[in-house]
Structure 1
Amino acid sequence: MTTDLRTAAMDSKAWPFEEARKLLKRYPNGAPPKGHILFETGYGPSGLPHIGTFNEVLRTTMVRRAFETLSDVPTRLVAFSDDMDGLRKVPDNVPNKEMLAANLGKPLTAIPDPFGKFESFAHHNNAMLRDFLDRFGFEYEFMSSTEQYRAGRFDDALRAILRNYDAIMGVMLPTLRAERQATYSPVLPISPKSGIVLQVPVTVIDAENGIVSFEDEGERIEHSILSGGAKLQWKVDWAMRWYALDVDYEMSGKDLIDSVTQASKIVRVLGHRPPETLTYEMFLDEKGEKISKSKGNGLSLEQWLTYGTEESLAFYAYREPKKAKQLHMGVIPRAIDEYWQFRGNYAGQEWPQKLGNPVHHVHNGKVPDEALPVTFGLLLNLASLPGVGDAETLWGFVRRYAPDTSPEKNPALDQLIGYAVAYGRDFVAPTLKRRPPTAMEADALRDLDARLAALAPEAGAEAFQNEVYEAGKAHPFESLRDWFRTLYETLLGSEQGPRMGSFIALYGLENSRKLIAETLDAVESASPAAPTQPAA
């Protein structure tokens, strides 16, 4: 670690460093007694993992790496699965719903896998989570709630819960409605009769031996909550985990603010300090609704990676964690281009600017050198045109524009071309509708065509862009913005589009003039002429 880097990191306003400095203040004398800083993320495996799950591990990892820039104290990251929870409702996006409905209330690890692949529903979803995280190379330790409870690793903490039972009830009861207060218990015994996670009042009989009593199917029984005989209510369970594992840092969504508050109070009742926390805003779907793993709305990781890169997803997740952001197909192209824009700036920046650059955190300071000769947006505009629906054709245009490129030498560019073809085919091309120009717009297009005809094919993007500007200024558009909108709507069939000089250079002067000719033909015919096959 260089002195300049660590000094810059101490002053950086990038949010991962701001979070990491909380941990430096937490332990001003160096490592805690356990010898490391423990980061935790939680996962409720009642539904399939989604991007929100990935997002939490990613952001926590960014804070972890920022702390490692500031300090030599070792760190660990635990990805904790609450897989002993009772299944409360059947998710919308899974098969065999009748089987799941017949097992409502049982721990997720005691319910058969509706997909028929794993030991239980929780084992299936835990495997999905680990695949999720392994794909991105996260360094983490997976921890199962069921395994921890059953192995007795939480037994000392459970005894502490029973010893402080009345004080914990004093924290929780004021937060509940009157009817819930009458039945609430921090402890949820596992019924020895039905295997269901019971929501019943309990009486502490022997805290040191973990014995409680409760009513189960009409019978009053005494039961040990140790070694898997019970689990805890969510907020108490969270506090117990912080206490038992000595967690130093955990972030959570805005919807869990109350849970963080109550869990923090409970962990103090147990004589321990709650972890440092960050509350992030939620991802929203296209309708502005919260993404839910049970509903399956929003984007899946697989959907994003069909049309965009891993780095673009990490870049999108990094930005402004305290601001709500929509997460749908339409955000992918912009995320890709903005990622590459920040990546292109990184090499020329000094340390303070680098540490504030999102790509530093996406790549943990090891930002690749490869640059792009064209933007993803430009590739997408080109891939959406008639006759340019495959990677080989698109590569033909790119090689003419940037002769020294190839799939072998430019693997990132080759990857983006594949994404552009897929996204253009599935989301852009079906929406394009080239409109006929007005008489004034047609005059401007003829003027532009004449100006382009006077240039050599190899004149370059700047020369083409200058003529685009001059043609627009020569005609009575209210602003050049209206001229560019005309070009996009009449030539490309879209309300938005690329820098036209770059587009002409990439698509080729001859093909671009053919586009103008086809558009002008629409002025004189009821329907546009059949598109001409472009020459790559």
Structure 2
Amino acid sequence: MTAKTVAADERERGARLGAFQEFAQSAKAWPFEEARKVIARLGDAPRGVVFETGYGPSGLPHIGTFGEVARTTMVRNAFIALTGGTIPTRLIAFSDDMDGLRKVPGNLPNQAMLGEYLGRSLTEVPDPFGTHESFAHHNNARLRGFLDSFGFEYEFMSATEAYRSGRFDEALLATLRAYDDVMAIMLPTLGAERQATYSPFLPIHPKTRIVCQVPIIARDVEAGTITWTDEAGETFETPVTGGAAKLQWKPDWAMRWTALGVDYEMAGKDLIDSVRQSSRICKAIGGRPPEGFNYELFLDENGEKISKSRGNGLSVEEWLDYASPESLALFMYQKPKTAKRLFFDVIPKAVDEYYSFAGKYADEAPEKKIENPVWHISGAAETAATVPIAFAMLLNLVSASNAQERSVLWGFISRYAPDATPETEPELDKLVTHALTYYRDFVLPSKVYRPATDVERTALLELSERLKGMDGASAEAIQDEVYAVGKAHFPVLREWFGALYQVLLGQEQGPRFGSFVALYGVEETRTMIAEALARDAAA
């Protein structure tokens, strides 16, 4: 993308978001609260603003990467709206690709080859997939493709390029001048053994190219060099500039904030102490720590912290097999400071919540739009795609019909909504595919039909009789009959609906039953009741 195109995109985004300036001033959504921190930081001297997210390319992009970039983009958009699009903004996606390869990930090919490069900068480790200049280049390309696929607007930056180009030289020299202050901040956070060898600078060995974690035996602030000894006892004097050395990650984070003038960066709750230490170092070398907040981490279905190494989480790719990226963005938008369970069962709820918000969005007044998650997810788009049938309803339709093909599901949908086709409802068509996949992988393996009690059998037979001749009736009319049967046989209606779901659909929860019957079909529902009762009798 050319600079001219980027500038045009920036102007268009500024105009689109800036149109909400009047209404943004009183907006309460959390991205606006975060954006106000940045405005307060600027004071009376408006200037361009830098937002940043960081990425470690020793592995592939994951759901946390998506969440951090999505949330930071939401804050950036809120800032643009609050300032009327008059202040330039940048979002830097920074790759820490000068880090040394500490271990060989077990899921990569060419393990033996990678083992020969332990300790080398990731941009100097050959690509085990054989497609790029280095392992880091491969993963950086994956990161950029990943971010591009979601339409994020960002500027990619490589640590290796920034170090070697001299972009960080001034901040690196400032760190060298403040060496004692940096050590005073870092040493109390380390164990005794680590304290004995710690240095904020990691020289790159001129012969082996290893990123060396060694004590510094001398430093020359005027010359901008450090002196150190390798394991073989050979002594070297290395410049801290030009990519001949890099910083440990906490001082590196502080140096980067200073060199790039970062105004806003968020981080996970597990990095609270790291943010605190890096902020102190940033001040020590003459910089100003960015604004931001610490978001809560995701938990698995058992309430345990999600870990990439344990594989107990849900990946972006897995989510997108079953739902839209907008539903994932909604999950990231909601309550970022609250720990949330991230596993497959949350997907249907997130999908239907997103389309519920999308259904209201187009007709809302501007002051309501900016409080709607869709505004933050879409970047203030005028409208958002909606669907006429909820995802949960589609899942139940697949469950009842045992559909395996999209055409079967569309047969039911077309009868319920005659004007709906895959061509006229492309968003629904995507949802149909997601529903079939989700049902196959998660609902079908756990379906358990329970036998009906005598009371439930009597109620189901009566419901079947009441449904006779109701073809073409509205969902409301059918629901009235469902309620009438329930009230006649059950002191608590919840017991009646539980019976419908457990006996007929083989699951604990289900849809509004009248709407389901209208979609699935009256006669099909009567057949389902008959088959369930016959199954009970046979058992």
Q: TM-score, normalised by structure 1?
A: 0.94
- For 2:503 and 2:382, the matched residues in 1 are separated by 40
Alignment map for 1:100-249 (pairs within 5 Å): 100-216=114-230, 217-249=232-264
Amino acid in the other structure paired with 1:441: E
TM-superposition CA deviations, 1:28-57 (whole Å, max 9, x none) = 22423xxx1000100011111101011101
**2:109 aligned partner:** 95
1:102, distance to aligned residue in structure 2 (A): 2.9
Residue 249 of structure 1 aligns to a residue in which SS? coil
- For 1:82 and 1:356, the matched residues in 2 are separated by 35
Residue 266 of structure 2 aligns to a residue in which SS? strand
Q: 1:59 aligns with which of 66, 71, 75?
A: 71
Residue 292 of structure 2 aligns to a residue in which SS? strand
**2:5 aligned partner:** none
- For 1:240 and 1:309, the matched residues in 2 are separated by 38
**1:533 aligned partner:** none
Amino acid in the other structure paired with 1:127: A
- Answer whether contact 1:85 1:197 (CA < 8 A) is retained: yes
1:427, distance to aligned residue in structure 2 (A): 1.5
- Answer whether contact 1:82 1:145 (CA < 8 A) is retained: yes
- For 2:95 and 2:335, the matched residues in 1 are separated by 26
1:299, distance to aligned residue in structure 2 (A): 2.1
- For 2:242 and 2:420, the matched residues in 1 are separated by 61
**2:57 aligned partner:** 45
Amino acid in the other structure paired with 2:493: L
- For 2:26 and 2:99, the matched residues in 1 are separated by 42
- For 2:297 and 2:126, the matched residues in 1 are separated by 31
- For 1:367 and 1:332, the matched residues in 2 are separated by 26
- Answer whether contact 1:159 1:209 (CA < 8 A) is retained: no
Amino acid in the other structure paired with 2:54: G
- For 2:108 and 2:512, the matched residues in 1 are separated by 45
Percent pairwise identity: 58
**1:288 aligned partner:** 303
Q: TM-score, normalised by structure 2?
A: 0.93
**2:443 aligned partner:** 428
Q: Assess, with a 3 A threshold, how the Cα gap between structure 1 residues 211 and 523 changes in structure 2: closer, same or farther.
A: closer
- Answer whether contact 1:93 1:294 (CA < 8 A) is retained: no
**2:94 aligned partner:** 80
1:503, distance to aligned residue in structure 2 (A): 0.5
Amino acid in the other structure paired with 1:26: R
- For 1:235 and 1:363, the matched residues in 2 are separated by 34
Amino acid in the other structure paired with 1:38: V
- For 2:100 and 2:134, the matched residues in 1 are separated by 13
**2:510 aligned partner:** 497
Structure 2 residue 26 is matched with structure 1 residue 11: yes
- For 2:308 and 2:157, the matched residues in 1 are separated by 20
Amino acid in the other structure paired with 2:531: E
Aligned length, in residue pairs: 521
- Answer whether contact 2:297 2:340 (CA < 8 A) is retained: yes
**1:360 aligned partner:** 375
**2:534 aligned partner:** 521
- Answer whether contact 1:385 1:429 (CA < 8 A) is retained: no
Structure 1: which 5+ residue stretches go unaligned? 527-536
- Answer whether contact 2:174 2:286 (CA < 8 A) is retained: no
Structure 2 residue 328 is matched with structure 1 residue 313: yes
- Answer whether contact 1:460 1:505 (CA < 8 A) is retained: yes
Amino acid in the other structure paired with 2:64: G
- For 1:507 and 1:316, the matched residues in 2 are separated by 30
1:132, distance to aligned residue in structure 2 (A): 0.8
Q: 2:522 aligns with which of 504, 509, 514?
A: 509
- For 2:102 and 2:310, the matched residues in 1 are separated by 14
Alignment map for 1:298-337 (pairs within 5 Å): 298-337=313-352
**1:479 aligned partner:** 492
**1:268 aligned partner:** 283
Residue 49 of structure 1 aligns to a residue in which SS? coil
- Answer whether contact 1:46 1:294 (CA < 8 A) is retained: no
Stretch moving more, 237-246 or 266-275: 266-275
- For 1:49 and 1:294, the matched residues in 2 are separated by 14
RMSD (Å), alpha carbons:
1.7
1:211, distance to aligned residue in structure 2 (A): 1.1
Residue 276 of structure 1 aligns to a residue in which SS? coil
- For 2:368 and 2:431, the matched residues in 1 are separated by 27
